[in-house]
Amino acid sequence: MTHVLGIVGSVSEESKTKAAVERALGGAPADAETSLLHLAEYDLDTADGRGLENYTGDTADALQRVVDADAYVVGTPVYRGSCSGLLKNFLDMVPRGIWAADVAPFEDAAVGLVATGATDHHYLAIDQELRPLFGFFGAHTVGGAVYASDDDFDDYDLADDDIGARLETLGAATVELDAAIGASDALAALGPQF
């Protein structure tokens, strides 16, 4: 059974990004396990190059949840054309198998990408910011992604049915990509080059 972890890089408890990631997780097949890691709920350390075993408390717990998952749906609000600083800080602590620990949770893993922003002007942050970050880890990102702007929400509830359906498809596609990676010798062995 695939365990899909939704990672929400929002700094606020009420979050459009959280609503979007939850909707994507809801599209995962019934036989997949899903859980949510909302970074705003954790008191995270600042990344400083420590090894995985040197983190404690909330930081250690959050990192262990990443290590234990099989596939991921990662969402971030977009600030000034980039992912949230909270998400970037957290990703800076995730081990890569080369430094900081002997595990590489994102390597050859399926990752679905979600971004939210005030306007549609931030749409390209998915391909200019998120996809390269996960390429660094050697992850396989789902070919399509989902971007939602403020116009797609009613307060913190997703109001656009087309965006909602696309999010659910992203959740399903993330699980399907995880299965394809697991069934392929080449996809499961590619990893990062450096």
Tokens describing residue 78? 């977009």
Report whether CATH 3.40.50.300 matches the domain 3-188: no
pLDDT in tens, 3-55: 999 999 999 999 999 999 999 999 999 999 999 999 999 999 999 999 999 99
Considering the entire predicted model, what is its pTM?
0.96
pLDDT on residue 80: 86
Res. 63: pLDDT tops 90:
yes
Buried (b) or exposed (e) across 64-90, using 16+ Cβ within 10 A? ebbeebbbbbbbbbbeeeebbebbeeb
